[in-house]
Amino acid sequence: MTPAPVLFISNGTAEDLIGARLAALLGRRTLYAPLVGEGRAYAGLPEARRVGRVLRLPSGGFPFGSLPNLRSDLRAGLIGESLGQWRDAARGASGAGAVVVVGDAYALMVGTLAARINRRPLLHVQPLLSAQYLEGLDLRGTLRELNALGANRPLPYELRLARRAQAVFVRDAATQAYYRRRGVPARFAGSFAMDVLPAPERELHVPAGRPVLALLPGSRDDHRESLSTMLRAAALLPQVTPVVAWPHPWATVALPSGWTLEVASDTEATARGEGAGVSLQRGAFGAVARAADVAIGTAGTANEQLAGLGVPVIAFATRGPQYTAGFARRQGRLLGAALQVVDAHPAALAAAVNGLLEDPSRRAQAAVAGLGRIGPAGALPVIAAEIEVLAEGVWPRHPGPAV
């Protein structure tokens, strides 16, 4: 008898990647319902089928990151299309052996409804919340970040939904303790971010004996603003080897005025200007991350992965959609000494890089903080084994407390 498929509900680029890696570990067909974008990470899996419509948001999945984000998403049909996705997910769950949510409270609501309507087991992977976001967050800070209230801490309704799930996995030990104090038997089995960090894809051929500066403009549209600032900062650092981990088509490269782009192949290009030449590498994030001594990043998961490797990260806020000033503050609380947020100016970034390279004790402190706060890999095989058990029907079938 063919094993029943598993339905994955995820809402973000990193969440899709985690879901796809989990699905690849299962000996089952995959149904996937990406709530933001097309869920391209799942597309390469054998026998994978997308459930329901595609929601393309101008904000890239951050409607509450700023008021302009919310306005643009509402104009794009956020409410009507989202309700349609709820119906699509519920229909998709009818043929699944289990429902797996990878994402935030909103994704958990969609997954809870789909699982309850069809009486299917539910497993929640929460890769976003961390109790470390609350460190040093006073009332004034909370009021300043009201749009991120549910991202800084699990709200009561999310905890109630999580208590109904058959299994809940969180991103770090501090969050496990936070959830358990509130009645959710959550588990920390390892870092999701480090689990999905790719192995080095190829050799970079960087000069020996020179520090490597990784430039991480990110997968969101922040790169249209941040890459130019990063390149100009790199031009002020002739003693380092800068390498851009570029995840987009070459046509989307936004260069500073006076700079040129020399495309060598589909995977390698060089940006030239202000007396500098900066290598851009496509499809080589794993190689760039492992070669780096220091990083400048306006990215979410990528910044965390570099910190998890022990690489100090320097960041600066953009106008969005993701790496806003509020997001930078939140990531600073998450990563502690592993992240340094400075002004969005090339000279400030270059000074921060020099400060780290000239002070080994600061680099060591940043490395220890990153390694400790992100944690080691190893969660996904544990979660996959749990999914297999649930999909075979080995789970409590009592109705549980009312939601």
Determine the pLDDT at residue 151: 72
Give backbone dihedrals phi and psi of 167, rounded to 5 degrees, phi first. Answer: -155, 145
Domains 6-196+377-391 and 212-374 share a fold: yes
Give the domain 212-374 fold. Rossmann fold (3.40.50)
pTM (2 decimals)?
0.86
Count of other CB atoms within 10 angstroms of residue 132: 19
Mean pLDDT of 184-202: 95
Please give the pLDDT value at position 286: 97
Which residue in this structure is represented by tokens 């009201």? 146
Decide if pLDDT at 399 tops 50: no
Amino acid 400: pLDDT: 40
* pLDDT score of 350: 98
Query: Given this model, what pLDDT does residue 54 score?
Result: 75
Structure tokens at 105: 């409270």
Residue 135: per-residue pLDDT: 86
Confidence check: pLDDT of 376 > 60:
yes
pLDDT(364) > 60: yes
Higher pLDDT, 276 or 209: 276
For residue 69, is pLDDT > 50?
yes
CATH number of 6-196+377-391: 3.40.50.2000
Q: Is the peptide bond before 321 cis (omega within 30 degrees of 0)?
A: yes
Where do the domains of the chain lie? 6-196+377-391, 212-374
Give per-residue pLDDT as tens, 282-302.
Answer: 999 999 999 999 999 999 999
Please say if the pLDDT value at position 11 is more than 70: yes
pLDDT band at 8 (very low <50, low <70, confident <90, very high): very high
- Give mean pLDDT, residues 11-37: 93
3-state SS, the chain, equals CCCCCEEEEECCHHHHHHHHHHHHHCCCCEEEEECCECCHHHHCCCCEEECCCCECCCCCCCCCCCHHHHHHHHHCCHHHHHHHHHHHHHHHHCCCCEEEEECCHHHHHHHHHHHHHHCCCEEEEECCCCHHHHCCCCHHHHHHCHHHHHHHCCCHHHHHHHHHCCEEEECCHHHHHHHHHCCCCCECCCCHHHHCCCCCCCCCCCCCCCCEEEEECCCCCCHHHHHHHHHHHHCCCCCCEEEEEECCCHHHCCCCCCCEEEECCCCEEEEEECCEEEEEEECCHHHHHHHCCEEEECCCHHHHHHHHCCCCEEECCCCCCCCCHHHHHHHHHHHHHHEEECCCCHHHHHHHHHHHHCCHHHHHHHHHHHHHHHCCCCHHHHHHHHHHHHHCCCCCCCCCCCC
